[in-house]
Structures are given as C-alpha cells and as structure tokens.
Amino acid sequence: MRLFYAVFLPQEIQEALKEAQAKVAPFKGWKPTPPHQLHLTLLFLGERPEGELDDLLALGHRLGRTTPPFTAHLRGTGYFPNEGSPRVWFAKAEGEGFTWLAEALRAELGDPDPKPFKPHITLARKKGPAPRVPPVVFALSWPVEEFALVRSELRRKGPVYTILERFPLRGDHERGEEEGPRERA
C-alpha cells in the first residue's frame, strides 16, 4: 500500500483555491490538482506492507490525542524548485500544528526525504513546457481539527486517494506525555 498522512481542506478553502487554479487553465503544461484532492502532506510513507497498518493507525490516534486543534493560514503561492523550470506550483501554509505533527511522525517513522518540512498545498504540477503563473495572494484561514492516513493508488488519469482513517485533534494532555492507566479508565 502506498500511504501518506495528510490534512485535507474544508470545502470553502477548496473553492477559493479552485479560483486560483483557474490561472493555469490557459497553459496545457500545467495540470491542476482536483479540488477534492487538495491536501497538505505531513509525511509521505511510500509503499508499506499491509501488516504495518495497525501500528500506523495507532500512531495517528496517539498523536491526535496529544495535539490540540489549531488554525491554518494560506497567504500566497510559490514553486518547487524556486529557480529554473518549476515542476510544482503550491500555496504556502502556516499553522503551528503542521510542523509539530510532521516532526512527530518523522521521529516515529523516519523520513527518507532529507529536505526540511515546508507546509504547502500543491495547486498544480507541470507536465510540459508552460510559463510561471503570476503570484497569488490569499487571506484564507480554517480550523484544523483532524488529520488522516491516506492510501494513494496511481492510475493512468491520476492518483486516487482513499482516506483509511481520520484522527481528531484533541490535545487531551501535553504533547509527549504518556497516557497512564488512570487516563484510560
């Protein structure tokens, strides 16, 4: 199974980003992310054996219990790579919980990607020659109240994402604090 942990966007944020994605419509080289698939990847796991699924779900629930809900903000757009011919056009995301969750997942599971975590939402990928899209400025915010473990299946027309489980952010106790027998009772 090809898996990743992610935060998906509420409908109103998807709609706002869909309007921004219209800027790439005139260029055949850019392929916009379908609005219902817009998400912020916390950690890409790649191919994992099905036998690991229970542990990955348990980790998601444990982090959800220790992470309080937070507010996410989108302010503007950028490119990967920033120099030369970009392959990805993204919206920059801010929110203290994004980095906390990504680092906690990396600490537990490792990450083969040595690049630092940069919270973003991929708006479009470049599949061929196409010009850069002018910058877009956002003033969007939303409450992040959950994250998810997602299965990604690569198909000819693009990836299909299936949310395997959602993990509510509750922040019941301090981050890193182990849950004792009294709390479970």
Q: How many CB atoms are closer than 10 A to CB 140?
A: 16
For residue 138, which of 11, 39, 7, 16 has the smallest C-alpha distance?
Answer: 16
Q: Which residues are catalytic?
A: 39, 120
Cis peptide before 81 (omega within 30 of 0): yes
Sequence-distant (6+) residues with CB within 8 A of 132 are 79, 86, 89
